[in-house]
Amino acid sequence: MLTDTALKALKPRDKKYKVTDRDGMYVLVMPTGAISFRGGPAW
């Protein structure tokens, strides 16, 4: 689960990477440190 604590612990890397949630949602962490929410259920 993407909790507030888990999101704050994410650190930028040389390349962008995804951290997934169990419900299909994920965050994309950019090399600049920006975090973007993506995905989710499609109803």
Does the predicted model carry a pTM greater than 0.85? no
Please tell me the distance from the alpha carbon of residue 36 to that of residue 10, in angstroms, as a whole number: 12
pLDDT band at 2 (very low <50, low <70, confident <90, very high): confident
User: pLDDT digits over 8-41, tens only?
Assistant: 999 999 999 999 988 788 999 999 999 999 886 6
Structural domain for 10, as ranges: 4-39
Torsions phi, psi of 18, nearest 5? -110, 145
How many structural domains compose the chain?
1
Please tell me the distance from the alpha carbon of residue 2 to that of residue 27, in angstroms, as a whole number: 8
Please tell me the distance from the alpha carbon of residue 43 to that of residue 32, in angstroms, as a whole number: 32
Please tell me the distance from the alpha carbon of residue 7 to that of residue 35, in angstroms, as a whole number: 8
